[in-house]
Structure formats: C-alpha cells, structure tokens
Amino acid sequence: MDHGALLKTLLHELKDGVIVCDPDAKITLFNQAAEDLFGLSLLSGRGTSLYNLCFQAPVIQALNLLRYQLELQNQPEPFPFVQFMNASISQDQYFRCRLSFLPPLAAAKNHFVIIFEDISAWYMPDNPLFMNIENFRSPLTNLQAAVENLTEYPEMSPVMRSAFENVLVQESLNLTEAFNALARSCRVIMQTQNHLTGLNTEVLFGYAAHHLQNKKISVAASPEQSVRVRIDLYGLLQVLDYLAGSIQYKHKGKKLACEAHIGAQFIYFDFVWHGPVIPTATVEKMLANKLKHSIGGMTVAAILRSMDGDIWSQQQENSKSMLRLALPISIKDAKAT
C-alpha cells in the first residue's frame, strides 16, 4: 500500500482546511479545502507564512500552551491539540482551529498541523442571539416590581384585585421560566458550535501564572485538586491582560497580585490590591470595552459570555479590593464535587 498516496487522498477528501507548517510557521503541505478557503494565490508556493492567511497571536498562544504541557510532568492524560478561534487577515472569514504538533513530540522545535473549520455562517462577534436574550432581563425585573407595587395599594375591589394579581403573578412566573428555558437551549446550541477547548486547572493556572508573571504580576495558584474547564484560551488571556492593565492604570504604584483557585461550581482569578474598590458602573464600562486584538473586535462581555463567565468587584478586609473573574467548572466535574 502506498501510504503517501493514501494520506494525500484522505487530506483531499476532508472538508476542513488542513495546513502543515514547519517550526517557523512556513507552509509545507495543504489540502484542497485549505486552497478553497484561502485561495490559490495565497497558497501558490511552499514556504508561504501561515500568518499571511490568519492572525498570528492566537496561533502563538496555542503553540506556547502545547509546549508548556509537554514540559509538565505527571500529566494524567495526553492533550494532543488546542482548539481556538481565528480569522482571516481581512476578517471576513472566521475559523474554529485545531492545532497539534507532529511527532516526535520531544523535538526542540516541532512541525505542526492546523485544521481550519469555516464557521462564518453561524459565528458573529457579540452574537445577537445572546444579546437579545439578555434584553429580556430588564422587562422581567420591571414586571415583577410592578406586581410587588400593585399589592401595596388597595384601590381595587378585593375580587378584581385578587384575580388581577393572580394573572400577573402567574404570567410573570411563566415568562421567567420561558426565558430560562430559552437561555438554556441557546447555551446548549452554542456549546455544540463553539471554539472552546477543555483544560484541567493544573495546566490552566500554571500557564496563566506564567503569562501574568511575564507582566510583573505575582500569581498564587491553588495547589488543591484539579478540575476541568472549557475556555477560549486566547480570549481569556486577552481579558486577563486588559483587567490587569486597567487596574494598574487606575491604581498606579499599587502592587497587584492574582489568586487563582477552585470553588464549588466555579474557578476564580482574583486580582487583589490595596486601595479603593472599583465601582460597579466602572466594571460595566470594562465589560463593554472592545479589545483591540481580539478576534472580530469582541467586547470583554462577549468573550466572557462565550465561556459562561463573569466579572465583579468587591471590598475585602484590611483595605484590600478585589476584581474577580469567574468561570464555570465543566458540568461533569461540578457534579463530582
């Protein structure tokens, strides 16, 4: 059997674009689907840089994470690829990417393969489906508040009042349940079409600590049990960088530290400093900020929403303040705890 011919046939039949690169990200091999995605002129010759086709930073983060994992000892299971989001240089195409090293994994510099799945048909930054669902929250809150106010004023006859209150209360409950069901369904749909990758917290906390320490931020990571989370690695690091930079800018001269730890249902990245707490209104502005180097110009809120995450600020003891980023533990691990 001609294994080389078989490999070429398999690559040709794949619907996703497959590109093989040398350690310097120069393209050495690609299939027909990759040619269709990026065009013959961009892939006309070997030696073209991968970064002429897509953004470099997400690929670099994925490569660094794979190298970091290879350096770790006592890993409970192999982690052959990193999944992440990327876009064409023109940002008119969006891809869910899967990147892995080619053997031998112990090599000082590794060739790698990256698979591009075109998800432009359903992916949009600041997904409007999520945003429309969030718009239900304010009317629901107002409706429930109106019911409470209505019960405080006895202008109506008892019979009419009772009937009116029962209708409002029941419809409010029904509307709330319908909203929750819609939100759950939306989350299920998006999680089948997302770009998140699963990581255990031993790897995530260690890699995040390495990343933040390079920016002169001390990190204390929980040595407790490891759980699994689903994250957008590049997006998460973008958010952590932005939050840390914002705090350092507002509180110049104050030492900033980060504590990474595991809760019952969430993992936390807590930025802690001596000084005044960040007001809620400022946190809302931070959430609405579009990150310049994110894929598609996404806001902090959109990146966190894709991971079901959130941020909030709170005052601690001893004149310390905290900005907390919370991400949910994968359902399987959350049930186990």
Q: Is 136 helix (H, G, I), strand (E, B) or coil?
A: coil
Percent of the chain with pLDDT over 70: 72
Lowest mean pLDDT among 173-182, 264-273, 282-291, 293-302: 173-182
Q: For 230-250, give the DSSP string.
A: EE-HHHHHHHHHHHHHHHHHH
Q: Is 34 helix (H, G, I), strand (E, B) or coil?
A: helix
**Half-sphere exposure at residue 6, Cβ-oriented, CA atoms within 13 angstroms:** 3
Task: Name the strand (E) or helix (H) holding 143.
Answer: helix 137-150
Q: Span 126-146, mean pLDDT?
A: 62
231 or 225: which leads in pLDDT: 231
Q: What is the pTM of this model?
A: 0.70
What is the amino acid identity at position 170? Answer: Q
Please give the Cα distance from 211 to 203 (Å, whole number): 12
181 or 327: which leads in pLDDT: 327
Count other Cβ atoms within 10 Å, centred on residue 110: 19
Please give the Cα distance from 229 to 332 (Å, whole number): 10
Q: Which of 105, 98, 22 is nearest to 67 (CA)?
A: 105
Predicted local distance difference test score (pLDDT) of residue 319 = 80
- In sequence order, the 6+-apart residues with CB closer than 8 A to the CB of 92 are 120
Q: Is 287 helix (H, G, I), strand (E, B) or coil?
A: helix
